[in-house]
Chain A
Amino acid sequence: MSTTPTHLAPQFDDAEQQQLAATLGMWAFLATEVLFFGGMFAGYGVYRAWYPPTWADASRHLDLLLGTVNTAVLLTSSLTVALAVHAAQTGSRKGVVRNLSLTILFGAAFLGVKAYEYWHKWHEHHVPGATFEWHEASPSGPAELFFSFYFVMTGFHALHMVIGLGILAWLIVQARRDRFDAEYYTPVEMTGLYWHFVDIVWVFLFPLLYLIDRT
């Protein structure tokens, strides 16, 4: 240990080891996340196989346009976060701050649209529970199940986004304090991975929830 850089934690021998540990840790964490959502997908799979027509019916009550817009917004945010990581690699502080801010913007837009969709569902009495109403030909029980899964899955996804936004904001503060340079930008990179993961989850949620009828 000759000249230890300030960002090197005492338990590590060198920056390379630290970087490796962070990356592996993040991937391992994402693996647990996959199983977390996997549990919901399993439940979804069971009921969708049991009630295909009803679920298709219920799915038609989601707003395809808003869903598509949101998908586009989120994919764009994946791009900006990738650009942020790239900026960090090249040591451009301004680039990092700008792209992270854009990512926050897109993330917030996504959540805004989502909130509007939720509000709309509430209005239509499509929120499961005591107020649920269903006026289609298809049975209401399985339809309520569909909306339960819709809210649980998109809800957990949105929760992940909120946490992501928090981390992004914190990163911006750090970046402004010049904590990152071309040598050390692990937090930006890790957050990028996380953000991509959250996007990928949406890429599965979108067709599974919005496009049942069209698959």
Chain B
Amino acid sequence: MDSTFQLFPESASQIADRVDALYLFLVAVALFFTFLICVLILYFGVKYRRGSLAERGNPPRSNLLELAWAVVPFLLSMVMFVWGADVFYDIKTPPADALQIDVVGKQWMWKVHHPGGQSEINQLHVPLGRPVRLRMVSEDVIHSFYIPAFRVKQDVLPGYYTQMWFQPDRAGTYHLFCAEYCGTEHAQMIGSVIVLEQDAFADWLSGETGDPPEVAGARLFERHRCGSCHKAQGGSGPSLAGVFGRRVPLKSGESIVADEQYLRSSILNPQQHIVAGFQPLMPSYQGQLNESDVLKIIAYMKTLEGNASASGEDTGDGNDQPPETEN
């Protein structure tokens, strides 16, 4: 009756077909065993119904049989495990050349920041055929970024950056949902993902205004007078030149690599890690800077050239805990 009625979701990313193939395998196994069990039950139930002429008796127990029906499911489930882990590995491992877009979730909306400074709310424009990596963080509770057509989903946590990636392979508009329950308007924390051909995407980008995040970040840096302490030399805070990716010695004696997670906590929770040779003078910017601002300042700090070599990638498993020690 309804033309939009569907039984199978559309697939619009490089991983979707692989997930579907795995899913169909699972469906086949499930159907096989469900039918097997149901048919056997009905067959035995009818054939050996009380009063029928079938031959009856108590057959002896058979260890071989028991072994067989433990081993077969075990082997099948190992196929599921290995196949599932393989797909999962790819879902979790973004290629190095991915376009990086920032996402901030808050009750009950999604804010998206493109590297060119374009921002959007509850919409995500992405180019066709290019890997896209989302770096995500929440302002409040746990949310979850979910694009069914791409078969990807990742929880978005307060306090920690998580990441997710996909490569759209069909232009169109797709559902975007918040999948983790986050309060009253959880069901309204939805939007759309719009996949555009490369040129259309370029057009869209140029039609949007906004400063690139490092520029906006520089302005924030200025406005919050970070520079008054962080001078190239002789400030009360360490020089921030080349800070991203460098190994920072801490007062506690340990050292830590200054990744995004570290820079974020340096700004919002400066007390967490004190740089060796400095006093814990830096005020916390919690409440003054929101997560989007922090992302911009981080983008700006990444541009501050220094003599340290910035390696640039963060640790990658999607959740960077704040270890005080090195391991």
Q: Tell yes or no: B323 within 8 A of A by CB.
A: yes
A142 to B274, CA, bound (A): 13
Q: Say yes or no: A137 contacts B274, CB within 8 Å.
A: yes
Number of A interface residues, CB 8 Å?
12
Contacts of A142 in B (CB 8 A): 272, 324
A52 contacts B251, C-beta separation under 8 Å: no
A140 contacts partner chain B, Cβ-Cβ < 8 Å: yes
Residue in contact with A51 in the complex, picked from B251, B280, B324, CB distance below 8 Å:
B324
Are B324 and A53 neighbours in the complex by a CB distance under 8 Å? yes
Number of A-B contacts (CB under 8 A): 31
Say yes or no: is B11 at the interface (Cβ < 8 Å to chain A): no
Question: Is the contact region of chain A dominated by helix, strand, or loop, or is it mixed?
Answer: helix
For the complex, give the distance between the alpha carbons of A139 and B252 in Å: 11
Chain A residues with CB under 8 Å of B324's CB are 50-54, 142
Q: Let me know if B271 and A141 touch, CB within 8 A.
A: yes
**Could you say which of A52, A139, A141, A142 has the most chain B C-beta atoms within 10 Å of its C-beta?**
A139
B4 interface residue per 8 A CB criterion: no
Give complex CA distance A102, B85 in Å.
61
Residues facing A in B291-327 (CB within 8 A) are 321-325
A138 close to B271 (CB less than 8 A): yes
Residue of A nearest to B324 (CB): A51
User: A42 to B325, alpha carbons, bound, how many Å?
Assistant: 19
Q: How large is the interface on B (under 10, 10 to 19, 20 to 34, 35 or more residues)?
A: 10 to 19
- Bound Cα distance from A96 to B251, whole angstroms: 57
Known A-B contacts A50-B321, A52-B325, A54-B324; the reply to A137 vs B269 at CB < 8 A is no
What chain A residues lie within 8 Å of B254 (beta carbons)? 53
Task: Give CA–CA (A148, B274) in the complex, Å.
Answer: 23
List, in ascending order, chain A residues with CB within 8 A of B322's CB.
Answer: 50
Closest 7 CB pairs of A and B: A139-B271, A53-B252, A139-B272, A51-B324, A137-B280, A140-B271, A50-B324
Chain A interface (Cβ < 8 Å from any Cβ of B): 49-54, 137-142
What would be 23 A-B contacts, judged by CB atoms less than 8 Å apart? A49-B325, A50-B322, A50-B323, A51-B324, A52-B324, A52-B325, A53-B252, A53-B253, A53-B254, A53-B324, A54-B324, A137-B251, A137-B280, A138-B271, A139-B271, A139-B272, A139-B274, A139-B280, A140-B271, A141-B271, A141-B272, A142-B272, A142-B324
